[in-house]
């Protein structure tokens, strides 16, 4: 083996940095790096180190650049870091740029082949792995060879930064669902690289992992899986969908949890239909919701556009159904594999005419699960479509979380009348009409097909109707119905998840945000506090916006609305919903396709406020 001895970097050993740095793993997609990266993340997780993993992948199947960033944070910060100290540069196409992005004192782990062609910097540590030579020493069948090659960096990383090999083996075993053969095959490669690194590489960087107690009792999962699990615990019955990144894995999640709801004969209580397109998917769940089941679709921007007409129908005919929008970057096909919060306005106003859709905005894994089940209760209680707006970052990346809470309330089917209840209703009110508002909350009573009562039938429609659901073109019927729907919106406003508020600092500065910016904002607030700038905090969790948000805005002199889209859409909605003066509200909107970072918030807020 003709392996060059590493040239010594100029930077010499400094104070050790333990459990507080980030990696970026640059590979080509389809090369099997996903398993390697997962193994790293799960190993750190099991070492008790708070960690996240974010995948930046291209919109094709094989061969284009992918970056996977892993951040370990002893303090439990799991937002994306703008800069990673370490790069695994395994993609020749991007290696030069990847190395250029390292901070001084950073670390580049690369292959001997790539090392030869990239520009060397003298302020970072280089570790070169002789991948081809190492692979020659293995007895991996040639069919798998390409796929396990990436395990070499796992081995090097394990040795360099102290991840125990046996723990990695355990993780591999879980990854392959207990199958020893593939676990061993991968582990052999890891061990080979580990041993080679031990022998040949002199560590010149200060980074190290150490077991700690930061994750015990915690779980790791993707938001799509969490939402899917929530739906399964929320009693979903009918799932109709059409494949689209990044929402596909949401339905994959339901498929994988479907067994939890099978009966003893393995018969299903969840029907899952891959529809011919998103229009059909929306139609199927509208039909299913109308007929009394709990129905869900999951999609992303282009699908939301195509569902506009059905969303309007479901809104106006008052059919419960749950739509997940796992947002990716738009307009148009946009960047299908990049995250964004850019569908807020469009989803809220989805459908022509005066319609406003109910939206839930989960900000973390626990809420993805919680809104997963609660969305059905809300949809049925409010007899309305409910849109859960998540995003690619939450949906497809692994997030660290406290375990979820089992639903704290029984399933709420809302105001559905069975035959006996219908009779009581008629006894009490003289008659039953589908759109009668006897409770004064804008929410009428409904029946579902199959109810054996002579007066149970009604005719659902997207056209004008009176309280009896009879077709009507009368202005007064129309206006009355629209007024009731407004009233229902107000009922919803306070029934939907209320904002999370941290009002304790007594500061004049309020930060308003929603969704997955939570972690970045939290960290940025800590940084600001370090600089002596206290901030209060509100995270909107639903649309229409709760009245508490207005109170928060008015009780702060300076309010920043932080969101990950280009136009500052939450800021726009706040202006729509505030007839009063809110000129002290400023928009900090990003929209670059990447998860929000604390540094962006910190810098922009300081600049604005300073």
Ligand X SMILES: Cc1ncc(C[n+]2csc(CCOP(=O)(O)OP(=O)(O)O)c2C)c(N)n1
Identify what 39 binds: another protein, a copy of itself, ligand SF4, none; CB under 5 to 8 Å per kind. Answer: none
Kindly report the length of the chain: 610
Q: How far is the CB of 68 from ligand X (least distance, A)?
A: 23
> Is residue 134 helix, strand or coil?
helix
Q: What Cα–Cα distance (Å) separates residue 174 from each residue in 186, 210, 249, 365, 529? A: 13, 22, 20, 21, 41
Contact 238, 273 (CB under 8 A): yes
Identify what 351 binds: ligand SF4, another protein, ligand X, none; CB under 5 to 8 Å per kind. Answer: none
Q: Which is nearer to another protein, 289 or 442 (CB)?
A: 289
Q: How far is the CB of 301 from ligand X (least distance, A)?
A: 9
Q: Which is nearer to a copy of itself, 472 or 505 (CB)?
A: 472
Helices 475-495, 365-382: inter-axial angle, 10-degree rounding? 150
At 55, list the tokens: 């995948």
Q: Which 95-124 residues touch a copy of itself, going by CB under 8 A?
A: none
* DSSP class of 450: T
Q: Which 314-343 residues touch ligand X, going by CB under 6 A?
A: 333
Identify what 594 binds: a copy of itself, ligand SF4, another protein, none; CB under 5 to 8 Å per kind. Answer: a copy of itself
Q: Which is nearer to another protein, 298 or 587 (CB)?
A: 298
Q: How far is the CB of 280 from another protein (least distance, A)?
A: 4
Identify what 76 binds: ligand SF4, ligand X, a copy of itself, none; CB under 5 to 8 Å per kind. Answer: none
At 332, list the tokens: 């148009």
Sign of the four-CA dihedral 548, 550, 554, 560: positive
Q: Which 403-462 residues touch a copy of itself, going by CB under 8 A?
A: 461-462
At 446, list the tokens: 């409904």
* Secondary structure of 28-68 as H, E, C letters: ECCCCHHHHHHHHHHHHHHCCCCEEEEEECCCCCCCCEEEE
Q: Which is nearer to another protein, 349 or 373 (CB)?
A: 373
Q: What are phi and psi of 405, to 5 degrees?
A: -95, 135
Residue choice 265, 409, 475, 530 for contact with a copy of itself (CB under 8 A): 475
579 binds a copy of itself (CB under 8 A): yes
d(CA 54, CA 246): 13
Contact 99, 109 (CB under 8 A): no
Q: How far is the CB of 309 from ligand X (least distance, A)?
A: 6
The set of residues, in sequence order, having a beta carbon less than 8 Å from that of 604 and lying 6+ positions away, is 588
Q: How far is the CB of 65 from ligand X (least distance, A)?
A: 20
Q: What are phi and psi of 24, to 5 degrees?
A: -130, 130
Q: Which 278-307 residues touch ligand X, going by CB under 6 A?
A: 278, 302-303, 306
Site string for ligand SF4, 28-67 (x = CB under 6 A): ---------------------------------xx-----
* Secondary structure of 70-125 as H, E, C letters: EEEECCCCCCCCCCCCEEEECCCCCHHHHHHCCCCCCEEEEEHHHHHHCCCCCCCE
Q: What are phi and psi of 88, to 5 degrees?
A: -95, 105
CB-facing half-sphere around the CA of 165: CA atoms within 13 A: 18
Q: Which is nearer to ligand SF4, 62 or 181 (CB)?
A: 62
Identify what 486 binds: another protein, a copy of itself, ligand SF4, none; CB under 5 to 8 Å per kind. Answer: a copy of itself
Q: Which 275-314 residues touch a copy of itself, going by CB under 8 A?
A: 301-302, 304-306, 308-309, 312-313
Identify what 261 binds: a copy of itself, ligand X, another protein, none; CB under 5 to 8 Å per kind. Answer: another protein
Q: Which is nearer to ligand SF4, 58 or 292 (CB)?
A: 58
Q: Which is nearer to a copy of itself, 94 or 186 (CB)?
A: 94
d(CA 330, CA 327): 9
d(CA 483, CA 460): 19
| Residue 531: count of CB within 10 angstroms of its CB | 10
345 binds a copy of itself (CB under 8 A): yes
At 388, list the tokens: 């859960």
Q: How far is the CB of 321 from a copy of itself (least distance, A)?
A: 14
244 binds ligand X (CB under 6 A): yes
207 binds a copy of itself (CB under 8 A): no
Q: How far is the CB of 119 from another protein (least distance, A)?
A: 24
The set of residues, in sequence order, having a beta carbon less than 8 Å from that of 123 and lying 6+ positions away, is 9, 10, 11, 104, 105, 106
333 binds a copy of itself (CB under 8 A): yes
> Is residue 452 helix, strand or coil?
coil
The residues binding ligand X (CB under 6 A) are: 242-244, 278, 302-303, 306, 333
Contact positions toward a copy of itself, by CB under 8 A?
Answer: 58-59, 301-302, 304-306, 308-309, 312-313, 315-317, 329-338, 340, 342-343, 345-347, 349-356, 461-464, 473, 475, 478-479, 482, 486, 565-567, 569, 572, 575-576, 578-583, 585-586, 591-594
Binding site for ligand SF4 (CB under 6 A): 61-62
């Amino acid at each position: 083996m003709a392996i060059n001895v590493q040239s010594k970097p100029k930077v010499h050993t400094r104070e050790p940095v333990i459990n507080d740095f980030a990696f970026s793993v640059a590979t080509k997609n389809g090369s099997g790096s996903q398993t390697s990266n997962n193994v790293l993340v799960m190993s750190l997780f099991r070492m008790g180190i708070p960690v996240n993993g974010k995948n930046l992948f291209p919109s094709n199947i094989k061969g284009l650049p992918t970056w996977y960033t892993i951040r370990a944070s002893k303090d439990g910060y799991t937002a994306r870091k703008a800069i990673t100290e370490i790069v695994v540069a395994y993609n020749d196409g991007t290696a030069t740029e990847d190395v250029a992005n390292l901070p001084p004192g950073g670390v580049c782990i690369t292959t001997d082949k790539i090392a030869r062609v990239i520009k060397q910097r003298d302020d970072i540590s280089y570790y070169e792995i002789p991948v081809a030579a190492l692979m020659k020493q293995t007895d991996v069948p040639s069919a798998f060879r390409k796929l396990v090659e990436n395990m070499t960096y796992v081995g090097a990383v394990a040795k360099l930064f102290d991840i125990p090999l046996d723990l990695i083996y355990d993780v591999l075993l879980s990854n392959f669902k207990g199958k020893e053969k593939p676990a061993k095959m991968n582990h052999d490669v890891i061990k080979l690289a580990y041993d080679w690194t031990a022998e040949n590489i002199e560590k010149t960087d200060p980074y190290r992992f150490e077991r700690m107690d930061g994750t015990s009792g915690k779980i790791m999962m993707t938001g799509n899986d969490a939402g899917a699990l929530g739906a399964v615990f929320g009693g979903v019955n009918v799932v109709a969908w059409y494949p689209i990144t990044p929402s596909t894995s949401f339905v994959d999640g339901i498929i994988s949890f479907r067994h939890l709801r099978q009966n003893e004969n393995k018969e299903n209580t969840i029907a899952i239909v891959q529809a011919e397109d998103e229009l059909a998917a929306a139609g199927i769940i509208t039909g299913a919701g109308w007929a009394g089941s709990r129905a869900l679709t999951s999609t992303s921007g282009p699908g939301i556009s195509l569902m506009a007409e059905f969303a309007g129908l479901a809104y106006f005919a008052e059919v419960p159904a749950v739509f997940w929008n796992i947002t990716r970057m738009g307009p148009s096909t946009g960047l299908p594999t990049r995250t964004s919060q850019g569908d807020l306005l469009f989803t809220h106003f989805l459908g022509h005419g005066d319609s406003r859709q109910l939206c839930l905005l989960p900000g973390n894994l626990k809420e993805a699960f919680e809104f997963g089940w609660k969305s059905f209760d809300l949809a049925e209680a409010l007899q309305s479509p409910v849109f859960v707006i998540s995003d690619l970052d939450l949906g497809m990346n692994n997030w660290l979380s406290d375990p979820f809470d089992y639903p704290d309330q029984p399933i709420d089917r809302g105001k559905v009348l069975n035959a006996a209840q219908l009779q009581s209703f008629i006894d009490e009110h003289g008659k039953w009409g589908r759109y009668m508002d006897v409770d004064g909350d804008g929410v009428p009573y409904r029946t579902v097909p199959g109810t054996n009562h002579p007066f149970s039938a009604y005719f659902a429609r997207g056209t004008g109707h009176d309280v009896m659901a009879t077709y009507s073109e009368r202005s007064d019927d129309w206006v009355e119905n629209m007024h009731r729907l407004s009233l229902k919106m107000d009922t919803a406003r306070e029934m939907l998840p209320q904002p999370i508020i941290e009002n304790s600092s007594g500061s004049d500065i309020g930060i308003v945000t929603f969704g997955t910016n939570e972690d970045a904002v939290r960290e940025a607030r800590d940084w600001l506090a370090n600089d002596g700038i206290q901030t209060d905090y509100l995270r909107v969790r639903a649309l229409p916006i709760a009245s508490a948000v207005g109170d928060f805005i008015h009780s702060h002199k300076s309010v920043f609305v932080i969101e990950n889209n280009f136009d500052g859409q939450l800021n726009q909605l706040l202006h729509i919903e505030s007839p009063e003066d809110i000129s002290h509200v400023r928009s900090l909107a990003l929209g670059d396709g990447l998860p929000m970072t604390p540094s962006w918030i910190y810098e922009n807020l300081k600049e604005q406020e300073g």
